[in-house]
Chains A and B, each alone.
Chain A
């Protein structure tokens, strides 16, 4: 790497980005200094181990990444609007679809879901925090600095450009010389480690920290989906860890895993990637199913239909998700026997998924439906997701896939499941739990504007792509010629993308607007909720529950309201509450990971070793730490409870 190549140059867009980044940083530093907020930032956020604050930080990052990935998407759509456009060149287009895909899945969808689960799961099970709060902070900061490392690639050194799947040999040294794909390997590794720890953390939390009386079959559906998602994470992410490590070895230390010569096998990468990758799509969709289940049953004001079947189908989907990965490369040439087997397992997933769809429909049936924004997203999910699912079954037919493979038909399919599934769920969850997070409701009117703009835009954007695919347009092509006849549908698609962009802007405005003028939630239970998170104040006091709630049935809080008129806390039952202490170490250890990663990307091994030494130092300090947290005395709890409940 020459110094002259350190900063990316030559593109007006990049220079604009450079300026924007510098200005933003200066702006942030200025605001923090001017309002004397540095200490607040450190004490309240950077060192926090509170699951609710960590969740909020995840969501903020996810929204920022949605913005970044969305800008990438709009740039691509702009380039494809008309034939022979000169807006982006081939290389730039490659970089953009790569970062768009990677960011949307790993740095937008995942953290959004993990953010929601951080906020909601401990509350839903009546716990004070997660099992390992310190580890939870470390998970977040590893994700954060992994994402940061990935994002700086576009101004320093150059972005990865081999697709989010980074197939070899394209992603190897032979065909990708720059540091771009090193960024991919290292940044994903860092944030992946964080995700793995989250998986372990929440599995233990859900298994061991449920409130008395909450048996497994009385758990809220969202918690169920998270439980199973954690299992997926625990078995899928190590595969990614290994795959990325091997990629790193190939790219940085010259090994021969996936190379063309000396025995390397490039299809091994594709297999490892998708052995992680397919469960990964379920890692983002199962929690989404959980969110829809909560929202649908709350706003249909009915108990979820077919609870046991729901649980069974989640488990079934999770199991199947590990044995379908070959459907991503039927064209590899594995032969009819192998392809048929994977074809059948893939189609089988439609069965438990169908069960869930019918359960939601039956939950809605004869319900007293309230059409809130969260409910609209959930209702829209059902038909849109079904379109994605049906086209998925079409793709699952191996013989037919030889036609669809890597065409815009595929692009349309996976956006239909990822957007109508995960993104709709994130928006539904955001609106639904927003009062719990911040104490005020997102404006419903603006929320509905976002919904209609985004949902209609989404269909205008992606529905035509099915036909573009059937007409022969392949994915990842940066331009096309006029006589192919693809222009009209491409224009339509771009219009749809613009509508989605406008919808997103309305959402951002709504966040600002509601913070200033939004209706405050004084009750803690704005939607007449059914599960325990609504038994706390909005936002909850940092210890969540003054006394541990006792669960008598499914929909614990609903039952409490019916039987006892709410969650009753007697002051004489209060006992001192044990809470974990804050720590700055997760933060600075993750900085060390960042430094080490940066060193690796550029093969500056001295820097990498310095970073690694600090990581080891952090581990040693943690081992010797003798901090057992602290107790909140009863008087203090009484005072805080009165303050939190004064509106109720």
Chain B
């Protein structure tokens, strides 16, 4: 923290205007780098184990195409609406920002609902985390992503409340920006899950 921490630089977007915000945003990017390593490890684990089904079902026998497609659609759309939210923020329109954040949040909640439904469905078919190495790695990989999305929803709610209380400040703007980074990141991870878990599972 130097004196620079509060030096105000009016030429940048609101979220970049204080030194503190710039540090936070860089820190978050680096954190996302660590998250990449984390998900890469989970993917590697999954790819090593996904054909080791023991006495349980294989990926091809199990996966529900319909649910997965709906989930994908919901999450991809939410990433788009999240982008719109940032767009509105850059234009300085609080109402628009709030509206799009809300849409994003609802789409995320929809995603989670369908994912939980999908999981419950598998469990009813006797495919639990304990059944085989394949299922353990499936549930942990996809579940970790789901847990991230849920956390993101909670986080967005907190930020929406703060936006309502405080309006646009360099601090709230930064928080919105960071949560949007997080959200897009989860979207990218989902694309990998969709390809490497579901598509691959239904092909092989």
Contacts and interface: CB of A to CB of B under 8 A. Distances in A.
A230 to B, nearest CB: 9
Interface stretch (B48-56, B88-96, B104-112, B117-125): B48-56
A624 B162 contact: yes
Q: Is the contact region of chain B dominated by helix, strand, or loop, or is it mixed? A: helix
Interface in A175-205: 196, 199-201, 203-204
Given A131-B23, A256-B131, A623 B52 contact: no
A566 interface: no
A590 to B, nearest CB: 19
Contacts of B24: 132
A246 interface: yes
A258 to B, nearest CB: 9
A203 B30 contact: yes
A623 B135 CA distance: 36
A263 B130 CA distance: 11
Contacts of B130: 253-256
B45 A235 contact: no
Given A255-B140, A263-B133, A204 B30 contact: yes
B200 interface: no
Interface string A158-185: 0000000000000000000000000000
Nearest to A132: B27
Interface stretch (A56-64, A393-401, A473-481, A575-583): A575-583
Contact of A263 (B23, B31, B54, B159): B54
B54 A256 contact: yes
B132 A256 contact: yes
B90 to A, nearest CB: 23
A128 B34 CA distance: 26
Given A268-B49, A576-B3, A234 B140 contact: no
Interface string A226-253: 0000000011111101110110011001
A127 interface: yes
Nearest to A242: B41
Contact of B158 (A245, A253, A624): A624
B1 A129 contact: yes
Given A132-B23, A203-B30, A245-B140, A262 B131 contact: yes
Interface in A207-228: 207-209
Interface string A563-593: 0000000000001111110000000000000
A534 to B, nearest CB: 20
A200 B26 CA distance: 9
Nearest to A628: B6
A263 B162 contact: no
B38 A234 contact: no
A552 to B, nearest CB: 19
A204 B26 contact: yes
Interface in A368-392: none
A17 B33 CA distance: 43
| Most chain A beta-carbon contacts within 10 A, residue among B6, B131, B136 | B136
A495 B101 CA distance: 68
A275 B45 CA distance: 13
Interface in A260-314: 261-265, 268, 272, 275
B64 to A, nearest CB: 21
A496 interface: no
A417 to B, nearest CB: 25
Contacts of A624: 158, 162
A259 B135 CA distance: 13
A201 B34 CA distance: 12
Interface string B159-201: 1001000000001000100000000000000000000000000
Interface of A: 127-129, 131-133, 196, 199-201, 203-204, 207-209, 234-239, 241-243, 245-246, 249-250, 253-257, 259, 261-265, 268, 272, 275, 548, 575-580, 620, 623-624, 626, 628-629
Given A235-B33, A249-B129, A263-B134, 6 more contacts: A127-B2, A249-B140, A262-B55, A263-B52, A265-B49, A623-B155
